Structure 1
């Protein structure tokens, strides 16, 4: 991967507006796109790719400007994730998860905690990973004086191997209280495993992690004051927030698939010998397919942007978030998650209809778009997202806040 652009970013003024940040993300995506297929095939740990995100300033997008951050909101973050995912779905996922974990202190922690975390993370350009897979319930947190000690295993820890800090989650021994804390990724007892070997999202470093007595001060337990958690409805906004991250890197992958396929069709596809056209781009079936897929993608993107704007209103006034406003927002997120899943799977599959048999060559790498979408859309069943919407329509039922809703 070429890093020639990085020096230029270091000497240019930082973007100041949302559009400038999205344009910066497009520049980063152009660098990632140059060898995306080869990197996907190699499956190497993406240290250089994460450094690229740091050099471009994207990792501090949500941070306070007074400490070197971009001072942007979630509507911009989602668009940035979408741009990066057009070139590389894995790196789009890593960046999106990073934004969620960067924001986690604000979602769960006290004001003192999140102000400290965001300032330091922005100054030092931390990259966040997370060992918070909710289906693994075997991480136990015990007390040892003024310390908490995490012991157990998580089967997924997206980004942690390439991160500076990792968000841990476990249950305080003898209670049902979950405890989140941020620890350095090189903490003693924290071991990341090279066991992520899936068909898609190969560069996300989403393998397992072992926690063998990882220690952190009680004062780092997010949202706890004098060892007592202070709950807010806003705490539960982590799920719809990360689900919108999913939506946007799905749509980014779909957009990248369409752009890459269109280039192939223009430059390499041969017209069908019995179709009566000299160029593939003149074939009515090809034109219709690109028009159909583009219209569906644009519609899903418009819905995603609208829902992101609705969510930003909740982020802007956390203390005003109620169970109803949170629930109504989750329903909207569920709806766009269902749409984005269907559209991204359709786009990444049907591009082969308009690129032709030769486009399936491994060297072209067009299969990576479908593999990436198919892999991550299995994160949680989309049928349950449609159920949330259906129950809301028929009964006015709000989704119960869980790890997935």
Structure 2
């Protein structure tokens, strides 16, 4: 991987704007060989190391342990910036932030202190295999330990991670969320990720074969019991908002990449009766970029708003969050997500109209923007997001918490 090392990575920023600039530097490094890396689809070990070296992995980590102590609104913007250059690495970074915060979503105060010190001091990177639609992972209580057997699909990033988050089900039906060493015996990677987009996320399946985990790795459980609260359900909203920011970044990256090609390479059309000397003078090209920019400014404004709204809840007292607050945030996140999927896919398609036929050459890899957004936006049906917003607009009903809302 060509990362074009940035010398000031040795000095970490001390403010939000500095971290956003750091994310742009990382994005520039990733953009340099994004097409080649995407084509080779190798496990992104070097890319994860770049995130670590840049300090982005510990962005949310407490200052006391050497982390940046930044807010979620910053982390979401960082995810967006990285996704402009490489949607796969933007996804892995966003998911890392989610799993790094998992202990705050579900854990006890003691678990929070222990896990945050562990990952921040060691600059550990998280992956996860928690797909709730896979019910095959059986968790057996063996006294002081839990034994896991089964299979999980979409273990995004686990292959290149230090810690992996797992979700399984006890015999009595209770879900158990655990954090384990990614190199644990019994955690078997199947290397079967072969999709048209997000090719570097290593989102293949894992098999759990007699994986033994101590009970204290079960997040939130005390004496084998757990007490749910509304704050727990913010994890699903945070995941949805990570996706939304990632999609915004991919769409912005598509537009910016297309604009550079149009400025430098696209030729004007000589058979229209209104011949121009430059493609940048073509009225239909200007109209298209005006449309792209207007739509992405609109989605950006809505996403920025909900970023701040959710960030306030995430950084507030856990016990103070109400289902009303949670529902109000959920419906706006649903609105933002469904809009950027629509606008982003349009940009990813129409960008070729303003670049021209030669832009379809495989060496450019411009189709990766559409493929990445198309692949990941199928995570859960966008029609259900539209329905949630519709029920709120028409009936005043807030979305009910679920594994996808």
TM-superposed deviation, 1:118: 1.0
Q: Secondary structure at the match of 2:101?
A: helix
Q: Does the CA-based 8 Å contact 1:105-1:114 persist in structure 2? A: yes
Residue 25 (structure 1) aligns with: 23
Maintained 8 Å contact 2:4/2:29? no
TM norm structure 2: 0.98
Residue number in structure 1 paired with 2:115: 117
Q: Deviations over 1:310-366 (max 9, x none)?
A: 111211222111111111111111010111111111111110010000000000110
Task: Report the 3-state secondary structure (helix = DSSP H, G, I; strand = E; otherwise coil) of the residue aligned with 1:255.
Answer: helix
- Give 1:302's aligned residue: 301
Deviates more, 1:142-151 or 1:43-52: 142-151
Residues in 1 aligned to 2:21 and 2:109: alpha-carbon distance in whole angstroms: 32
- Report the Cα distance in structure 1 between the residues aligned to 2:375 and 2:386, rounded to whole angstroms: 19
2:261 corresponds to which residue? 264
Matching of residues 136-155 of structure 1 within 5 Å: 136-155=134-153
**Structure 2: distance between partners of 1:282 and 1:394:** 45
Q: Which runs of 5+ in 1 are unaligned?
A: none
> Partner of 2:139: helix, strand, or coil?
strand
Cα distance in 2 for residues equivalent to 1:8 and 1:313: 31
Q: How far 1:8 sits from its partner (Å)?
A: 3.6
3-state secondary structure, aligned to 1:229? coil
Distance 1:16 1:319 in 2: 30
Q: How many angstroms apart in 1 are the aligned matches of 2:271 and 2:6?
A: 49
Q: Does 1:102 align with 2:100?
A: yes
Give the distance between the partners of 1:20 and 1:231, measured in 2 at CA. 37
Preserved contact between residue 191 and residue 204 of structure 2 (Cα < 8 Å): yes
1:127-169, Cα deviation, whole Å (9 max, x unpaired): 0000101110010111112111111101210000000010011
Structure 1 runs of 4+ aligned residues shifted over 3 Å read none
- 1:77 and 2:75 aligned: yes
The answer on whether the counterparts of 2:250 and 2:344 sit within 8 Å (CA) in structure 1 is yes
Instruction: Tell me if structure 2 keeps the 8 A contact 1:192–1:208.
Output: yes
Correspondences of 1:199-238 after superposition (within 5 Å): 199-238=196-235
What is the TM-score normalised by the length of structure 1? 0.98
- 1:403 corresponds to: 403
CA distance in 2: counterparts of 1:397 and 1:262, whole angstroms: 42
Q: Which residue of 1 aligns with 2:187?
A: 190
Superposed CA offset, 1:253-282 (max 9, x none): 111111110010011101111130111111
Kindly report which structure 2 residues correspond to 1:2-401, keeping only aligned pairs within 5 A, or say none: 2-5=2-5, 8-10=8-10, 12=11, 14-173=12-171, 175-275=172-272, 276-317=275-316, 318-401=318-401
Q: Tell me if structure 2 keeps the 8 A contact 1:128–1:159.
A: yes
Alignment check: 8 A CA contact 1:6 1:52 kept:
no
Superposition RMSD in Å: 0.9
CA distance in 2, matches of 1:299, 1:4: 33
- Per-residue Cα deviation, 1:93-130 (whole angstroms, up to 9, x for no partner): 01001110111110011111112111110000110000
Alignment partners' CA distance in 1, 2:3 and 2:390: 48
Gaps of 5+ in 2: none
SS in structure 1 at match of 2:299: helix
For residues 21-55 of structure 1, the C-alpha deviation after alignment (integer angstroms, 9 at most, x for no partner) is 01000000000000001111111111100000000
Paired residues, what number?
402
Could you tell me whether the CA contact under 8 Å between 1:360 and 1:366 is conserved in 2?
yes
